[in-house]
């Protein structure tokens, strides 16, 4: 048996200042005839990068992004080490465990390699970094921001609830960071007070403008409108 960081297989890792260097590196096998089968799991709600290192010309042969609670499953692969990269100052939980089997001869080695594989496993919903909740109250005819994404993130919308105190027409739409490239989600036409809910599936509704984009609304009257937004930040590249 092989366990990450010793006996338990679980370690808390803190990101170092230089994010180009690994926050933690763990040795696995001692020669290319020793094949590893097991998995590496991100136990946190933040994106983590791992690099798998082999032997000889196969060094640093795979870099993988582990989403929140995602596992990376490896079968019959000769690994020298695994390195974990964490954003500076962040703390994450990381788990790794598996088995090491040394091939007795070249024929057995070839058979085992022929059965090698690497796969993602994400049994939980992709919550990425964290859930986002926003409430905007508007009591004038105007266009306002509901949610603004970070420069390295875009926003994935799960649910939007619009409640009005009187007659109002509300347009819900995406834009880029400069309020251009408008993509309408829908128009809500209230003849009097009422509530309407947009409820999107697990695939989420994402801003087509991606990083730095905005979720916005326009109201047509001064009747108070309360908008509740629930979604997730999605890191660039996901």
Report pLDDT digits (tens) over 51-76.
999 887 656 678 889 987 889 999 99
Is pLDDT at 237 greater than 70 in this prediction?
Answer: no
Between 2.60.120, 3.90.320, 1.10.357, 3.30.950, what CATH number should domain 2-121 receive?
2.60.120
Report pLDDT digits (tens) over 174-183.
999 999 999 9
Domain with CATH 2.60.120.260 in the chain: 131-235
Report pLDDT digits (tens) over 39-53.
999 988 778 999 999
| Predicted local confidence at residue 159, as pLDDT | 92
Going by C-alpha positions, the residue among 39, 18, 36, 40 that lies closest to residue 28 is 36
> Which residues, at least 6 apart from 94, have a Cβ–Cβ distance to it below 8 Å?
4, 10, 11, 12, 13, 24, 40, 41, 42, 43, 44, 48, 84
Going by C-alpha positions, the residue among 57, 58, 96 that lies closest to residue 79 is 58
Q: In whole angstroms, what is the distance from residue 126 CA to residue 69 CA?
A: 8
Q: In whole angstroms, what is the distance from residue 146 CA to residue 133 CA?
A: 10
CATH superfamily of 131-235: Galactose-binding domain-like (2.60.120.260)
Is pLDDT at 205 greater than 80 in this prediction?
Answer: yes
């Amino acid at each position: 048996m092989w366990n990450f960081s010793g006996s338990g297989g679980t370690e808390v890792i803190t990101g170092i200042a230089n994010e180009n260097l690994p926050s933690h590196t763990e040795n696995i096998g001692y020669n290319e005839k020793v094949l590893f089968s097991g998995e590496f799991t991100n136990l946190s709600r933040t994106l983590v990068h791992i690099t798998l290192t082999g032997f000889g010309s196969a060094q640093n042969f795979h870099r993988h992004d582990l989403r929140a609670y995602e596992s990376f499953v490896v079968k019959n692969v000769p690994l020298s080490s695994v390195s974990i990269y964490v954003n500076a100052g962040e703390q994450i939980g990381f788990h790794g465990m598996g088995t090491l089997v040394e091939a007795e001869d070249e024929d057995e080695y070839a058979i085992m390699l022929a059965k090698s594989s690497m796969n993602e496993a994400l049994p939980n919903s992709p919550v990425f970094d964290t859930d986002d909740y926003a409430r905007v109250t508007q009591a004038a005819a105007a266009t306002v921001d509901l949610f603004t994404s970070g420069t390295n993130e875009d926003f994935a919308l799960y649910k939007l609830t619009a409640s009005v105190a009187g007659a109002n027409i509300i347009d819900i739409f995406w834009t880029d960071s400069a309020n251009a490239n408008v993509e309408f989600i829908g128009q809500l036409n209230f003849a009097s007070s009422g509530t309407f809910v947009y409820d999107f599936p697990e695939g989420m509704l994402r801003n087509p403008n991606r990083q730095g984009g905005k979720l916005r609304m326009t109201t047509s009257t001064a009747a108070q409108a309360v908008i509740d937004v629930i979604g997730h930040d999605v890191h660039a590249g996901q």
